[in-house]
Amino acid sequence: MPSLLICQSCVQEEYLRAKMADQGSLGQCSFCSDSGVVVIELEELAEFVHQAFESHFEWTSSEPEGIDLLAAREGDWIQPGVPVAEVIAEVLGADEEIGEAIRVLLSDTYGPVGRDALINDDPYDPEAQYQEREVQSYQFRDGWTSFCWEIENRARFFNESAKAALDELFEGIGSLRTRNGDSVILDLSPGDCLFRARTAETAADMKQIVKDLPISLGPPPGAVAEAGRMNADGIAIFYGATDVDTCINEIRPPVGSFVVCGKFELLRRLRLLDFTRLADVLIRGSLFDPQHVSALERAAFLRVFEEEISRPVIPGRESRMYLPTQVVAEYLASHPDVQIDGLVFTSSQKYLNLDRGGEGSEDFEEGKNVVLFKDSSRLAPSELPKNIDVSVSLHVSDPDEKWPFVWISELVLPEDDGEKYSGINPFDLIDANQDRAEDSREISVKLNLASVEVRKIVGVSYQSHGLDISRSRFERSELDDGSDF
């Protein structure tokens, strides 16, 4: 019996149409009867379908199993999935006749024969039903686990295997888009704002921070920069957030301390990789393209990758647990194809905004952290004249008031006055920072002095989410097959 032939016009799936044009020859289609068109044998198309089923679909059981047995007893169970011929027709963009013809071919090729047919079911039986298989990300999870082990235990510098893992994970990441069509690259414009905060354990510390604004609230110079989630010791970057409350939660100030907060305005356009958008990335492609499987698996891992980099770290273990994210940040900061200025990721210290939802509300506000890399975190100098002497004090204007207020006074000295300006910037005393005037980086952020506020930490509130508990008891005799579930 001659082989059936099928033409491009009978298949709407673009990847397969291109394959048919490349591999086919002129002939007459067995389905639409057009002649002089590019056709391929139906067996070739069926093999493409089989490979797609192996990678993207799973055969559902015709009998309830485990917990579904109880639903079946109540008459509430229906076999999940769609009949195999309908799935074939849908993924091909073909009619039901073609779907059924390919099903028959696949049944003849991959169905059990002889004694095996008495034991095993035919995966392409007319009654077989399929559903899309959940995309797994084992390859990328294993790669990330291996990367973290390499960085933490083997080699932190010049590690080719670690670089290869990051190359695979982040290849073409700047071109990814979400289901809404948004790019994972967030463009910030001049005038957009970020927030920063610093802890002051004593009133004297708080006064000094306020007195030395704006530099005391900006990123420290490299000579005194301590290691953080996204930077190693000696690498100064800008840690900020989208709101003040997230800043305070991130620095975890002790009860009784002060927090100085401020709003920083961007002075130029910045491009940030928004990890919070990775959870909604949409990967377009063909189920018949072998490379599409890897793309889907990478997207599945990227959806949880943000949880990996924003996971809370137990105090005292930061130096070790921050190593992988520090390497990721340096890799992205220097990557020539990505060309970004920083990162956005969910705060590990999420908080409930009681002003919005009220106590007990489900309106759970997730703050976002923002990191600007070194080249994009240069702070604009103070606009205060050099002949101003700033003093900061705490005052109580009314005996009935519970809290004092912060009083900042600026004494303008004559330019020819012999007195010296007393506001000494402690960072100016650091030898390694003597070349600040020669800093070649473009100025990126500016502190809005009018936005500065001081908060007194009077208590800490832990937010939690209660988990429902369901308890059931069954006799083994209630299960038809005696299986556990």
Q: Return the minimum-mean-pLDDT range out of 16-20, 30-34, 414-418.
A: 414-418
Strongest mean pLDDT among 210-219, 308-317, 468-477: 210-219
Instruction: Give the residue-averaged pLDDT of 237-242.
Output: 92
Q: pLDDT tens for residues 439-474?
A: 788 999 999 999 999 999 988 777 777 888 888 776
Tell me the C-alpha distance between 119 and 112, whole Å.
Answer: 9
Residue 339 has pLDDT above 70, yes or no: yes
Phi-psi region of 146 (alpha: psi -120 to 50; beta: other; left: phi over 0): alpha
pLDDT in tens, 76-101: 778 888 999 999 999 999 999 999 99
Give the model's confidence band at 304: pLDDT under 50 very low, under 70 low, under 90 confident, else very high.
confident
DSSP string of 132-199, one letter each residue:
EPPPP-HHHHHHHHHHHHIIIII-SSS-HHHHHHHHHHHTTGGG-BBTTS-BSEEEE-TT-EEEEEEE
The tokens describing 403, both together, are 């809290």
What is the model's pLDDT at position 117? 67
Query: Over 60: is that where the pLDDT of 147 sits?
Result: yes
* Residue 85 confidence (pLDDT): 95
pLDDT for res 50: 96
Mean pLDDT of 259-283: 92
- Statement: residue 145 has pLDDT above 70: yes
| pLDDT at residue 432 tops 50 | no
- How far apart, in whole angstroms, are the C-alpha atoms of residue 237 and residue 250? 16
| Amino acid, res. 125 | D
**H helix count then E strand count, the chain:** 14, 17
With 80 as the cut, is the pLDDT of residue 425 above it? no
Which of 44-48, 219-223, 233-237 tops mean pLDDT? 44-48
Minimal CA–CA distance to 300: which of 273, 329, 280? 280
Q: Of 249, 264, 279, which is closest to residue 372 (Cα–Cα)?
A: 264
- Which phi and psi (to 5°) does residue 310 adopt? -110, 10
Helix ranges, 242-358 (H): 244-251, 290-310, 318-321, 323-334, 354-357
Which helix (H) or strand (E) element contains residue 43?
A: helix 42-56
The domains of the chain are located at 5-132, 139-379, 388-443
- pLDDT value, residue 412: 83
DSSP state of 296: H
**Neighbouring residues of 368: CB distance < 8 A, sequence distance ≥ 6:** 241, 242, 246, 276, 344, 345, 346, 347
Which is more confident, 48 or 403?
A: 48
Would you say residue 121 has pLDDT above 80? yes
